[in-house]
Structure 1
């Protein structure tokens, strides 16, 4: 569901205790908070955590294996041919002659070295990082059992919870690994009241997801954009 653009005169929620003028004065068009929900307390109550899931990365591994197999097989065949008193392949002689004539600061030499370094760094990153960023690890309540929750599915669950709050016209949920950002549009009720209900409902929803590392929650509520 697309979110209307924010009006230019939108304001944030004033600090507690500050008066807000109503009727003929300044109207509150937006209510924002970091939410009363505390992910640290949820983690303490939930017990032990779980590490991230590691991606198998079959495609990069398969491509690398094919390149290494083809290159090493071709080089081994050429070396064996030279040992058998046959001339080396034309491409290897031409490559050796070309590299011998080019200086180290040649554009093609530098470009080739940069590509090789980039590929090497990419392979190291793939080998050293877990991957599968879209899978959120869940708590390990039972030994030997691991479970994960897709980020899109988690966002849909929280969105369904949010639209049930009275006064919410539309809502958009962005589920990150460390933070859940919720932007809602309310067409009636006080914005502070709607935001407080969203804090409570979504905080409970995140806790019930059973994530090993519960994310923080940020809730923003505003009025629909004025037409015309």
Structure 2
């Protein structure tokens, strides 16, 4: 959502700068008794004085602007994915948190230190941490014990971080491909 907000802000800023530049150019040209430079604003002004509020172009423009405004409002009112997971603190004035990507790196580091793991992939959501591990060739025969060990290692890491609402763990162990 941040990317969309930043893109919309850049587009809006460019539009405002262009509108301001055109206004400055047109006012300067009009004051110097020259014809319009960029926009034929006298023609637009004449069209606007002849057109009623009920005319089709005015209604279509109004509907388009209303729909655009409602869409922009809806995008801003939809709840965003939480980027940070709160960490419990002893002092009430302290606000500590860990990002989801930081928690994923921490869990990945904890599970890759377990013997028998060749590769680990961790995705963290608000309520669930999904850990997918590929076992080494020698450890592939006992994936149940490896899964239990990995779950314990990940649980210890979550407990050490002290999250207020730790995500539920989902650990999946796969044998290496031959």
TM-score normalized by the length of structure 2: 0.66
1:161 and 2:110 matched: yes
Residue of structure 1 equivalent to 2:146: 194
Is the counterpart of residue 222 in structure 1 residue 174 in structure 2? yes
Which residue of the other structure, out of 32, 54, 72, is the alignment partner of 1:100? 54
1:92 deviation in Å? 5.9
Aligned partner of residue 156 in structure 2, secondary structure: helix
After TM superposition, give the deviation of residue 170 of structure 1 in Å.
0.6
Q: Is the contact made by 2:117 and 2:135 (CA closer than 8 Å) also made in structure 1?
A: yes
Aligned to 2:68: 115
SS at 1:113 equivalent? helix
RMSD: 3.4
- With normalisation by structure 1, the TM-score equals 0.53
* Deviation, structure 1 residue 118: 0.9
Secondary structure in 2 aligned to 1:115? helix
Instruction: Point out the structure with the larger helix share.
Output: 2
Matched-pair contact (CA < 8 Å) for 2:53–2:59: no
Find the aligned partners of 1:146 and 1:157 in 2 and give their Cα distance: 20
**Residue 171 (1) aligns with residue 120 (2):** yes
1:89-141 deviation per Cα after TM superposition (whole angstroms, max 9, x unaligned): 855664472643118975x5543331121123234x17xx4x57222221132
User: Which segments of 5 or more consecutive residues in structure 2 lack a partner in the other structure?
Assistant: 24-40
Distance in 2 (alpha carbons) for counterparts of 1:194 and 1:181? 16
Secondary structure of 1:100's aligned partner:
coil
**Unmatched 5+ stretches in structure 1:** 1-54, 75-88
